[in-house]
């Protein structure tokens, strides 16, 4: 754990309560980033959060330099499949076409393509559910996968990001990226059709301020697309403190459907849709675990392909039961029609 003056004790950011019970102790991931951390559960509203936590000034030291590159490569590394950039680009374009229903035909190869696309869709998150491209703000855009996806689909895109490495990668791809936390940037009111916040809200020190900013910059008929790890997922209960997304001390908040909805509704949003999906970033870690277990009983290559099967089935089951390990939200500014 960092030195004491780099840590802060905080009240619940959802209801303001100071009292919270110990939820679990967890070691940092990777362990080299030091120490044991405490997750607590607010006694007022049930929100789970890291307390104490690194201050905003101190948090950067807990992000190893390869953090963004790792997240970029996670799914591919898990399957040890690294297609050349041209193929990635082609798949992404087909993914966008698929989403906008311009992909026609029902041949066997099309069906295979659809299956592949459905896997990639998970990796690249949800596209806006509308045909008309507009202006999109991606808060915490990372290395720019979503910027790229929407630009390829005809959208005008802007990102915000705090990681210098990630910003450099985005800018090398020609994207406009603003450096800083979204609530501290000069973003004009009602200037975006879509705000996208994927796997970011759990990292930020002021989730409410970020959501209020998203609400302010959206046009009255605009749409928020947000996703976070689902702390109430059965796979979290199974893995406990070593669940992939506890990720101390980078994940400061752990939302359930209940606490996420309440935070959105008290930050200016009306929730249109809240659902879970499986095979998120967790898939890589779950695949690692299941294929490690299988490797004891069979050759490595077989263990890997069986691992893919087992992981896919586990996650499909969780998804069918409505308890996948990622929560997805579609919401609009309240007061809008
Ligand atoms: Zn609370």
pLDDT of residue 111: 54
pLDDT at 279: 53
Please give the angle made by the CA atoms of 168, 227 and 104, to the nearest 5 degrees: 90
Ligand 1 mean position, distance from CA 326 (Å): 21
Distance 213 CA to ligand 1 centre (A): 21
Q: What is the Å distance from ligand 1's center to 48 Cα?
A: 8
* Centre of ligand 1 from the C-alpha of residue 15, in Å: 4
Using the predicted structure, report yes or no on whether residue 300 has a pLDDT greater than 90. Answer: no
Taking 90 as the threshold, does the pLDDT of residue 152 lie above it?
no
More confident residue, 321 or 88: 321
Which residue is listed with tokens 């004491």? 4
286 vs 79, 238, 303, 307, CA distance in Å?
A: 12, 11, 13, 9
CA of 46 from ligand 1 middle (Å) equals 6
Per the prediction, the chain carries an average pLDDT of 80
Does residue 199 carry a pLDDT above 60?
Answer: yes
Q: Which segment of 22-36, 120-134, 196-210, 271-285 scores lowest on mean pLDDT? A: 120-134
Q: Are 227 and 199 in contact, with CB atoms under 8 Å apart?
A: yes
Ligand 1 center to residue 248 CA distance, Å? Answer: 20
Average pLDDT rounded to a whole number, residues 44-69: 85
d(CA 195, ligand 1 centre) in Å: 26
pTM to 2 decimals? 0.79
Residue 308: what are its φ and ψ, rounded to 5°? -60, -45
């Amino acid at each position: 754990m960092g030195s004491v003056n780099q840590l802060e004790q905080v009240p619940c950011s959802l209801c303001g309560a100071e009292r919270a019970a110990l939820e679990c102790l967890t070691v940092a991931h990777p362990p080299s980033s030091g120490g044991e951390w405490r997750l607590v559960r607010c006694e007022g509203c049930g929100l789970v959060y890291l307390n104490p936590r690194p201050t905003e000034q101190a948090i950067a030291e807990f992000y190893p330099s390869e953090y963004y590159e790792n997240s970029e490569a996670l799914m591919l590394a898990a399957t040890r499949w690294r297609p050349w950039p041209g193929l990635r680009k082609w798949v992404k374009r087909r993914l966008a076409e698929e989403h906008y229903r311009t992909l026609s035909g029902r041949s066997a190869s099309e069906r295979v393509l659809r299956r592949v696309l459905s896997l990639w869709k998970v990796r690249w998150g949800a596209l806006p559910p509308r045909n008309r491209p507009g202006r999109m703000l991606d808060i915490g855009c990372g290395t720019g996968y979503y910027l790229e996806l929407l630009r390829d689909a005809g959208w005008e895109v802007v990102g915000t990001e705090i990681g210098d490495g990630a910003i450099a990668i985005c800018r090398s791809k020609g994207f406009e990226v603003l450096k800083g936390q979204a609530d501290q940037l000069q973003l004009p009111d009602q200037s975006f059709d879509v705000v996208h916040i994927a796997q970011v809200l759990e990292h930020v020190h002021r989730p409410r301020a970020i959501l209020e900013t998203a609400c302010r910059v959206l046009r009255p008929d605009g749409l928020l697309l947000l996703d976070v790890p689902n702390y109430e997922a059965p796979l979290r209960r199974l893995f406990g403190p070593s669940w992939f997304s506890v990720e101390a001390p980078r994940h400061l908040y752990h939302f359930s459907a209940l606490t996420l909805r309440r935070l959105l509704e008290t930050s200016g949003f009306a929730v249109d849709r809240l659902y879970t999906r499986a095979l998120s970033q967790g898939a890589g870690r779950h695949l690692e675990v299941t294929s490690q277990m299988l490797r004891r009983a069979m050759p490595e290559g077989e263990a890997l392909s069986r691992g893919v099967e087992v992981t896919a089935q586990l996650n499909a089951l969780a998804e069918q039961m409505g308890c996948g390990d990622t929560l997805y939200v579609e919401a609009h500014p309240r007061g809008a029609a």
